Structure formats: structure tokens, C-alpha cells
Amino acid sequence: MNPDPFQALGLPARPDLTDEQVRAAWRAIAAATHPDRPDGGDLARYTAASAAYAELRTPWSRSEAYADLAERAEADDDGPVTSPLPPVPGGEQSVPPPPWQPLIALARVPARVRRGRPLRLAIRAAVAAAWSLAVLALIPGTAAAPADITGLVTWFVLTGRKDLAPPPER
């Protein structure tokens, strides 16, 4: 499998390329590198381009190749380890979750923020904080102030949780 079929065809790695663009790129390379050329062509490059063309021929396979590239880029960037764990003799043992599981989940939150959408979370947090400050400035010492802040925190938690990366077990 070609590691980067887009590169092999000299195309930008984009999922929205058209069939025509891919075909034109392949034809250009094929014409320049075909082994039947008087100068002998470039068999290695021709083979790589042909394989890449087969991989990028349809919109669906292009989107797959693009997604694979994106995943690989993520993985290279200190991404998930997806190699298999060493086998355990006797099969998997059922292990009940430890009582300190909530603490572990809490400790993972910074990593989940980092691997999620930190900018959006920061914007949400800034909006919630700004509104909370405005509430405290407008109605200090009233019963509505903690209630409003509770509402803002609820909003932040509900909308912000989808910007976190999923926990490892999911």
C-alpha cells in the first residue's frame, strides 16, 4: 500500500479532488514515465503512480485515503498507541473497576482537553466566566447570583464535554 498516494501523483492531500484532476495527474505521470518510452521511462515511479491512481480513483477511496493520512499524522504526533498488547496466558480476567476510578477519570481530564478541541473549550470557558462576572457585578449578594452561575456552569459542562477527547476505554 502506498504510504501517501496523493504525493505519488503530485497532488495536494485533499478529500475534495475531482475524478478529472486525479486522472489528469496520473496521465501526466504515466506519459512521462511509461516503460515503453524511447528513453526507458521510470518503471518505479510509473508503478507507484499506477498504484496511487488505483487507490484514489473514486471519491470514496479518496476520502478513505485522506482520512488514513490524517489518522497517521495524528498518530505520528504523539498519538494513540494502537499496537496490540502482549497476549495474556489463560485469557482475559475480569477485573472490577477500582474504587478510585473517579479520581483516575478526573486525572485524565487535562489529557482529554489537550487531545480534544482546547480552543473551543477555552472560548466556552471564557464566555461562561464573562457572564458569571457580569452577573456578580449586576446582582451581587442576591439569591439569583449563585443560581445564574450554576446555570452557566451547567451550560459549560453540557456543551463542553463533547469537545473533550473520549476516555481511553471508549
Partner 1 sequence: MSIWSWLKLAMFLWLLRKAFRLAGWLLLAAAAVAAWPVTVVTAAGYAAAWLRGWPPARLYRSAAWAVPATVTWLAALEAAQPGFLAARTPGRAWGGGWDQLTGAGLARTFALLAPAAVPAGLALAGLVWAWRNYAITSGLAGIMASANITFDARQWKRQVRTARGLTAAPGAVPLLARGGLIPVGGTIRAIGHRWRPVLALPAAACARHMVIVGATGSGKTNLMIRLWAGWFTATLAAARAGRGNRPLLVVLDCKGGRDARVKAERTRRLLYGAGARRVAIWPDEAQLCLWDLPPDDLSVLLYQMIDSGTGAAAYYADVLQAVITLAVMAPCGPPLSTAGFLERLTAKWLQNAWNDGRHPAEAEHARAAARHLPDIQLRYATLLRRLGSALDGPGRLEEADAWYCILEGTRERSVAEAQAMALTELAARAATSLEGESRAMLLAADDYSAVSGRVPLSNLYERGRSLGIGVQVSAQSWQGLGATEDERYRIAATADGGLFVLHTPYPEPLTALAGKRRVLETAHKLIGNAWGDEGTTREQRAWTADPDLVRRLDTGQACYIHRGAATFVQVARPKPSPLTLLPPPAPPPAPPLVPEPRREAAPQPPSWPPAAGLDDIFGPGATR
> For 95, what's the count of Cα atoms within 13 Å in the CB-facing half-sphere?
7
158 binds partner 1 (CB under 8 A): yes
The footprint of partner 1 on this chain (CB under 8 A) covers a number of residues equal to 60
3 binds partner 1 (CB under 8 A): no
> CA 13, 18, 21 angle in degrees (round to 5)?
80
Assign 3-class secondary structure to 129-149: HHHHHHHHHHCCCCCHHHHHH
CB of 59 to partner 1, least distance (A): 6
Binds partner 1 (CB under 8 A): choice among 11, 25, 112, 128: 112
- State the residue for C-alpha cell 476505554: 169
Q: Which stretch binds partner 1 (CB under 8 A): 16-24, 26-34, 35-43, 73-81?
A: 73-81
CB of 38 to partner 1, least distance (A): 32
Instruction: Scan residues 133-152 and list those touching partner 1 (CB under 8 A).
Output: 134-135, 138-139, 142-148, 150-151
9 binds partner 1 (CB under 8 A): no
Cα gap 56→32, rounded to integer Å: 20
Local structure of residue 3 (DSSP, 8 states):
S
